[in-house]
Structures are given as C-alpha cells and as structure tokens.
Amino acid sequence: MGRIRVVDLSVPIYQDMPSWPTLPPVRITRIRDAAVHGATVHLITQMHTHAGTHVDLPAHFIPEGETMDDVSVDRFVSYGVVLDLSHKGAGEEIGAEDLEKFGELIRKGEAVMLYTGWSRRRGHNPDYLYRWPYLGEEGAKYLVEKRVKAVGIDALSIGGWSERTPVQGPLARVPSSVTHRILLSAGVIIVEELANLEEVLRGRPWARALFIYAPLRIRKAEGGPCRALAILEE
C-alpha cells in the first residue's frame, strides 16, 4: 500500500449539540480541570445511542434483531463508494433511479455512502433537523437487492422526518421506519450523521475508499456512536 490519506467522517460531540429532535439532548460537563485538580475529566450525564455520527443495528427497529453483542467487528470495516447526490433538495427522496446511475459502482458486500451536502448545514435549524434528503423505500430495496454491507448518509437519518414536534409535522413520503426496516431486516448496517464526504469526493461524482465505522461496544445496544473514517490510497 502506498501513501494514504485519512478523512474523518465524524461530527463533534458536545453539550446541547444538534440531535434527533424528540430524543433527550446531550449533556457533557467538565468536572475536573488540570490547572486546578491536576487532571481534566468530563462527565457525560446524558447521551442517547444515536447522538452524533453513529450506527444503527437491526435491533433498532427489528424485534429480536441483532444487537452489539451479535455483530462481529469486521462488519464495521468495508471497502465502498461515496456517491454524489448533492443535487437532491430539501426533504427530497433518494430513489432507486438515483442509485441506478451508479449501478456498476455499487458492489455486493461493500458500503455505500450517500453525499447530500447536508452535514454543512449542521445546527439548530429547520433544514438540518427536519428537511434533509433521505433514502426512500425503493432506494432502500435497490440497495438490499445489490446486497450491500452498509449504507451511510451525511444527514440526521437515512429515512426522512416522519414524527411531530410543536413546530414541524411529518415531511417524508413514507415513515422513516420503513426505510430502516428494509435495510436492517437484510442485515445492512446504517451509518448516520456522517461528515466531510466531500473531502473523499474532491469534486468527483463518486470515489472509492476503505471505510471504518466501528461503534462503542455497548452491551445489548441497538446502535451506538462511532468514529467514522475513510482511508484512501494516493
């Protein structure tokens, strides 16, 4: 292997960061400071398993589905491809026809990372929290038929917003659970809230890389935060 380039695909985790609107906010505080106590320590008092860049495992939506205990670590490492879908607009569905254009690049047993550009909108704003482009039912079925290993997206969820808050009702054509169940029931690992996919693409419509998206090893968990990386040979 020659010279390599590593791209961090993870968003930072911090107090009150943007996250799924109907789940509790992240709470992290510094309880020791090296200048005063001789060591710095932070205390995480509240953080759900789908905060920040994270993976979804089958148990997230499938009763008796695989949990962290059931999934071998090699399933969190895969060669694959980033696809540029940044032409999709707010709340727009990514369908099978969008993916078929890249059909020869989508390979059995590999990962597919969907670049929408939405990570650059990350913040407490309606676009990021509700209106991201999402993988629709037919797009999910297409990827299952291609027998991919993992699917990732640089938005809050692989499925569209289909819940309700005081300021926003459902937007997606089908519930987010539909997209999740199609993928997870086929054993496809989902990676959400990716970042910096444009650094893998570098202006190209697609780019291949080795991806690592290993989550924290939380017993019996249905998913968990991960440090996602893309490794490219140059």
According to CATH, the superfamily of the domain at 4-11+48-233 is Putative cyclase (3.50.30.50)
The two beta strands, 229-233 and 4-8, are: antiparallel
**Integer Cα distance of 76 and 131 in angstroms:** 28
Record the pTM. 0.97
Nearest Cα neighbor of 212 from 6, 40, 4 is 6
> pLDDT digits over 149-193, tens only?
999 999 999 999 999 999 999 999 999 999 999 999 999 999 999
3-state secondary structure of 20: coil
Burial of 199 per CB tally in 10 Å (0-12, 13-18, 19+): middle
Q: Judge whether 215 and 226 are in contact, CB under 8 Å.
A: yes
- Residue 96 per-residue DSSP state: H
Supply the mean pLDDT for the chain: 97
> pLDDT digits over 190-221, tens only?
999 999 999 999 999 999 999 999 999 999 99
> pLDDT digits over 43-102, tens only?
999 999 999 999 999 999 999 999 999 999 999 999 999 999 999 999 999 999 999 999
**Mean of pLDDT values over 115-122:** 98
